[in-house]
Amino acid sequence: MTMEKSDECNNTSGQKPPYRPVVIVHGLMTGDVSTMQHLAARIAELHPGTKTYVIDRFCGLASLEPLWRQTRKLADDLLKICSLHPEGVHIIGYSQGGLIARGMIEEYGTEHNVRTFVSLSSPQGGQYGAECFTKMFPALTARTAYELFYTRLGQRALSVANFWYDPRHRDLYLKYSVYLAVIDNVKQESSCLHLQQNENDNGLKTMMGNMSTAVTSSTTTVAETNDDTQKNIEARVAAAIAAVSAATVKISESHNDNNSDARSVTTDVDTLMAMVSAHDNYCAENDNYNSNPNIKKLGLTRLQRLVLIGGPDDGVISPWQSSQFAVLDSSGGLIPMRERRQDDVYSDNDPIGLHQLDMTDRLVEYTVPGVNHHEWHHNEKVLRECIIGWLD
């Protein structure tokens, strides 16, 4: 729905404080935790007595860590908060944080007590636009990013690969996506995932042997650490950024040489990614492939409300309708959430419960023009007319 006066969320009339606690999950590269404190402070002002929790893990550069690593660590915090508040909590996930919030709600569907989930300009349908990454990766383009992001190791390098959705290569997306396709509950689960990884590790050793000892020794030390201090996380991410940058240049050069065969650069890409992937750690962390798909659906359907907020002037989320679960088709046409029927999130088997939420009037959408992506969590009108009324 378009944000107009008639759309104001006045559902809290007649209710009195205390209000339920609100958990806020920051977005990609949003700096330190202070960037979300304004939102927390305004909620407390509008709803006096509200306890707010602003998640302070994976801020700044660390927000580029792969999404399952972030989801599992942040879920520890969320479940502790839930245990402190048996009356239930609300969660607001901004940008990438909305995907992490959904991942937590789905993966811990029997454990959380989240009542309202506000997805604030979050690419729930995935991202297909490289403009926001060009400063970090100048050679990256939307048309060629899949050659890097849809590799086994590319998925384990940086968070942005985990929610990349290239409509021209849905087959590769379903094969390689380790996060978005999983939380969408549309990915065929593999019982031999760990076997495949072990076999590929042997290939990696061979590839690593072809690289200079000086280069590999300095980077694998960073990749193999289990220390999740901010310093080591940032070191891992910095190494990943360097590797991804080099890989995007190689991909660009391969196309400039009129060689568009993705396989011609796969070895180079995987070799570079091997420098920053702690494979044993990721094997241990990929237990999500064995999770019960019914729990994912239960996680969302237990919500009292799912609120999806986005707008045409966002400038970062692409397409912007991804904030409301829309995707593009292979020709670039828009497929709104309710038309994602064929083996997708709104199909008859309702893999994550969107259809059930929609049919029971628990799914709310706001389309808000005139708001830039970096302004959503500061915009007073968005807070007053789209968010605060749902935080009972």
Domain boundary among 290, 319, 338: 290
If one counts every other C-beta atom within 10 angstroms of the C-beta of residue 326, the result is: 20
For residue 240, tell me if it sits in a domain.
yes
**What pLDDT, on a 0 to 100 scale, did the predictor assign at position 291?**
63
Burial class (CB in 10 A: 0-12, 13-18, 19+), 372: middle
Same domain, 75 and 162: no
Tokens of 126: 């995935």
Tell me: pLDDT of 193 over 60.
Answer: no
Asked which of 214-223, 288-297, 341-350 is least confident by mean pLDDT, the reply is 214-223
pLDDT at 107 over 90: yes
Q: Does 347 score more than 90 pLDDT?
A: yes
Residue 104 or residue 6, greater confidence: 104
Question: At residue 33, does pLDDT exceed 80?
Answer: no
- Quick one: pLDDT band at residue 259, thresholds 50, 70, 90? low
Above 90 in pLDDT, residue 322?
A: yes
Average pLDDT over residues 66-78: 96
Average pLDDT estimate for 69-92: 97
Rounded to 10 deg, the angle between the 193-209 and 263-274 helix axes is: 90
Whether 282 and 332 map to the same domain: the answer is no
Least trusted range by pLDDT, from 19-23, 253-257, 268-272, 278-282 = 278-282
- Examine the domain organization and report whether 9 and 138 are in the same domain: no
Asked if residue 154 belongs to a domain, the reply is yes
C-alpha pair distances (Å), 17 with each of 40, 109, 288, 317 = 16, 27, 38, 35
pLDDT over 90, % of the chain: 58
Structural domain harbouring 10: 5-127+292-390
Q: Are residues 199 and 63 in the same domain?
A: no
How far, in Å, CA of 373 to CA of 384, rounded? Answer: 18
Amino acid residing at 338: R
- Same domain for 106 and 226? no
Q: Are residues 197 and 241 in the same domain?
A: yes
Please name which of 249, 237, 234, 365 lies closest in space to residue 308, comparing C-alpha atoms.
Answer: 365
- Higher-confidence residue of 132 and 313: namely 313
Domains contained in the chain, number = 2
E strand spans, the chain: 22-25, 52-54, 89-94, 114-120, 305-310, 327-328, 334-335, 363-367
Pick the more confident residue, 231 or 366.
Answer: 366
For the cut 50, the answer to whether the pLDDT of residue 227 exceeds it is yes
Of 116-130, 221-235, 359-373, which gets the smallest average pLDDT? 221-235
Q: What is the mean pLDDT of the chain?
A: 82
Inside any domain, residue 46: yes
What's the confidence (pLDDT) of residue 188? 59
What pLDDT was estimated at residue 19? 97
Q: Do 253 and 297 lie in a common domain? A: no
What is the pLDDT at residue 378?
96
The pLDDT of 202-208, averaged and rounded, is 35
Q: What pLDDT is attached to residue 194? A: 39
| Residue 134: pLDDT over 80 | no
Mean pLDDT of 16-36: 86
Tokens of 215: 């280069």
pTM > 0.95: yes or no = no
